[in-house]
Amino acid sequence: MPEYMLLIHAPEDGFSRGETSAPWLAYTQALQEAGAYVAGNALQPAETATTLRVRDGETVISDGPFADTKELLAGYYKIDVPDLDAALAWAARIPQIERNTVEVRPVVVYA
Amino acid sequence: MSSASAAAEAAFRRERAAVLATLIRQLGDFQLAEDALQDAFAAAIVAWGRNGVPQRPGAWITTTARRRAIDRLRRERGLADRVERLRVLAEREAAFAEEPEPSAIVDDRLRLIFTCCHPALALEARVALTLRSLGGLTTEQIARAFLVSDSAMAQRLVRARRKIDIARIPYRVPADEELPERLGGVLAVLYLIFNEGWSASGGERLVRGELCDEAIRLTRMLARLMPDEPEVTGLLALMLLHDSRRAARVDAHGALVLLEDQDRSLWDRGRIREGERLLEAALARGEVGPYQLQAAIAALHATAPSVQETDFGQIAGLYALLARAAPSPVVEVNRAVALGRSDGPDAGLAVLAPVLAGGALDDYAPLHAAHADLLERAGDAAGASAAWARAAACTDNAVERAALELRSAGTCARPRPSRPPARSR
């Protein structure tokens, strides 16, 4: 079955953690029970990100995320489901979906 | 072209959509199916041109295309899963070969239209893909209709098919719980195709008839495939009722003729009758929706002997229902215009007041033209002049702007003071 990355972009203040972790645990568990879960993690806030580029042999390391936008990559799930509609259905169930944005990307399969 | 190859080409075009729909299911790959169909087309023109069109052209094309697809898979070294796909295809060949004539498998075309109109595709890609896959237009014809280059349109199509294949947009009719929303998306694409032909936002001609024809043909097919969905039938009725006015909408110089100025003897009675009949059948199911309501409004216009004898009271009532089913300030503008005709200008102005205050349509010329017309008929010349000027300022079209400016200056060249500003064309 094809794999999809659910890339979760959250507003600049990131996920609200602590007491709201329960819905995330429940969501992860639902994925596992459906046999769709491959991997998933929350990321530390974007201010802890470091971006690296190598141009003309020169390495440039800079503070901050790759794209400085209002919504930043805050976490991801990798899921294994039959098709895009199934992936979109899971994406719609992500906690705090009303304030987050999810990018659904198929994962390249190597033979 | 010889008459034999012309007959071969015509037969191929008739079968194309049904065969493509079946091939996509069998091959599980949109682009491969399209490419294999192109190969089969070339083969058919040669073979049929020589030996005549076979008795079951659809089955001939499907089998030929499937063989070509297998040839293509064998050649494509880069494809990671080609061995697996070849094995699956070889295994299923016997079952495929025994399937009935492709045109008899209506479900495949239904699957295809839902895939082409999937919301994960950009709207312009949905439109192009629907026209190319299910309609009778070539890539070049679609490119011309949408005023882009052939290569840009070809690329748009290839990109859309690639996304369907890579992201695995499913090839099926959505499940019941998703169906209403997704069917709404399909109908929106079909209506957009019709409107693109009808309003001709660009290009040399005012009406691009081939798009209207294709939209009607596709909606007719969908209505046949989904006879229990009254909104599909309602949309078909709406298109036919609009399209009945096609010949009267453009004058000898190619300029637009407004509804009230049209020669009603040029309206296509056959289309009007068919639209009415379809609308009645849809309404009888008792599930009224926005397309049926718009068709009902169009039917009242289409069957009125003149503007004066049009039942604007009932039209206003239908707009009120439409505003409830699909709320939009544009609908309110149309309701105000109809009410202004049935109950007098003050009734229309009362409906327009909250729309004007809302501000969402500040730059919408028809709103200000409707306002001006109602004020004028209510006797407020100064207010009308200001509103006409405002309408003129919102208009990009030079001819239309000049006409509106003339009205603002109070030097109206038209004999009648009450041009209906609703964009019923």
- Alpha-carbon distance of B131 to B149, in angstroms, equals 16
**Which range has highest mean pLDDT (A39-43, A69-73, B1-5, B55-59)?**
A39-43
Domain annotation covers residue A24: yes
Domain span at residue A84 reads 3-106
Domain annotation covers residue A111: no
Q: How far B163 CA sits from the closest chain A CA (Å)?
A: 10
Whole-number pLDDT of residue B200: 59
Q: Which of A82, A84, A110 sits opposite B80 (nearest CB)?
A: A110
Average pLDDT over chain B reads: 88
Interface contact B120-A84, CB threshold 8 A: yes
Q: Which of B80, B81, B170 sits opposite A84 (nearest CB)?
A: B170
Domain annotation covers residue A48: yes
Total structural domains within chain A: 1
Q: Which residues in chain B touch residue A88, judged by CB atoms under 8 angstroms apart?
A: 120
Whole-number pLDDT of residue A77: 97
Q: Which residues in chain B touch residue A85, judged by CB atoms under 8 angstroms apart?
A: 169-170, 174, 178
Which one has a higher pLDDT value, A5 or B14?
A5
Whole-number pLDDT of residue B411: 44
Whole-number pLDDT of residue B414: 44
Q: Which of B80, B167, B174 sits opposite A109 (nearest CB)?
A: B80
Picking from A82-96, B189-203, B314-328, which range would have the lowest pLDDT averaged per residue?
A: B189-203
- Is the pLDDT reported for residue B264 higher than 70? yes
- Alpha-carbon distance of B402 to B392, in angstroms, equals 7
Domain annotation covers residue A93: yes
What are the residues whose beta carbons fall under 8 Å from the beta carbon of A73, sequence distance 6 or more? A7, A8, A9, A43, A46, A65
Which of B80, B76, B82 has its CA nearest to residue B27?
B82
Q: What is the pLDDT of residues B399-425, one digit of tens each?
A: 677 778 888 887 444 444 444 444 455
Which of B149, B151, B142, B144 has its CA nearest to residue B204?
B144
Q: Which of A106, A109, A110 sits opposite B167 (nearest CB)?
A: A106
Interface contact B174-A111, CB threshold 8 A: no
DSSP B28: S
CATH number at residue A80: 3.30.70.1060
What is the arithmetic mean of pLDDT over B227-241?
97
- Is the pLDDT reported for residue A17 higher than 60? no
Domain annotation covers residue A35: yes
A56 pLDDT band (50/70/90 cuts)? very high
Domain annotation covers residue A62: yes
Domain annotation covers residue A23: yes
Whole-number pLDDT of residue B102: 54
- Is the pLDDT reported for residue B347 higher than 70? yes
B65 pLDDT band (50/70/90 cuts)? very high
Interface contact A85-B169, CB threshold 8 A: yes
Q: Name residue, tokens 């102005």.
A: B349
Domain annotation covers residue A17: yes
